[in-house]
Amino acid sequence: MNAKYLVRLDDACETMNHEKWQRMEDLLDKYEIKPMVAVIPLNKDKAFNHKNIGRDAFWNKVKSWQNKDWEIAQHGYTHEYVAKSSGDFIVGNNYSEFAGLLYEIQREKIKKGYAVFQEQGIAVKSWIAPAHTFDADTVRALKEESDISIISDSYALFPYTKNGFTWIPVQIANFRKFPFGYWTICLHPNEFEEKDFIRLEKGIQQFKNQIIRTDEVKTYNGFLALFLNQLFQMSFNLAIRYKRKFYPNLKKRTTG
Alpha-carbon distance of 111 to 173, in angstroms, equals 30
Give me the percent of the chain exceeding a pLDDT of 70: 92
- pLDDT value at residue 250: 45
In our burial notation (b when 16+ CB lie closer than 10 A, e otherwise), range 39-61 reads: bbbbbebeebeeeeeeeeebbeb
* 168 φ/ψ angles, rounded to the nearest 5 degrees: -105, 115
Q: What is the pLDDT of residues 34-79, one digit of tens each?
A: 999 999 999 999 999 999 999 999 999 999 999 999 999 999 999 9
Which residue would you say has higher pLDDT here, 60 or 252? 60
Looking at residue 96, the DSSP 8-state letter turns out to be B
Alpha-carbon distance of 209 to 103, in angstroms, equals 42
Pairing of strands 165-168, 160-162: antiparallel
- pLDDT value at residue 180: 95
**Which domains can be identified in the chain, with CATH numbers?**
4-246 (3.20.20.370)
State the alpha helices, DSSP H only, in the chain.
Answer: 18-30, 55-67, 103-119, 136-145, 194-207, 223-246
Q: What is the mean pLDDT of residues 176-181?
A: 96
Say how many Å lie between the first and final Cα of the chain, rounded: 29
User: Is-contact 75 126, C-beta < 8 A?
Assistant: no
In the structure, what pLDDT confidence band is assigned to residue 238 with cuts at 50, 70 and 90?
Answer: confident
In the structure, what pLDDT confidence band is assigned to residue 241 with cuts at 50, 70 and 90?
Answer: low
Q: What is the mean pLDDT of residues 211-218?
A: 97
- pLDDT value at residue 252: 47
Distances (CA, A) of 37 to 59, 61, 66, 108, 126: 13, 12, 9, 23, 9
Q: What is the mean pLDDT of residues 186-195?
A: 98
In the structure, what pLDDT confidence band is assigned to residue 237 with cuts at 50, 70 and 90?
Answer: confident
Alpha-carbon distance of 129 to 256, in angstroms, equals 8
* 3-state DSSP assignment of residue 215: helix
Give the predicted TM-score (pTM) of the model: 0.92
User: Is-contact 96 86, C-beta < 8 A?
Assistant: yes
Q: Which residues is 172 bridged to in the sheet?
A: 185
Instruction: For the beta carbon of residue 193, count every other beta carbon within 10 angstroms.
Output: 9
Q: What is the mean pLDDT of residues 166-193?
A: 96
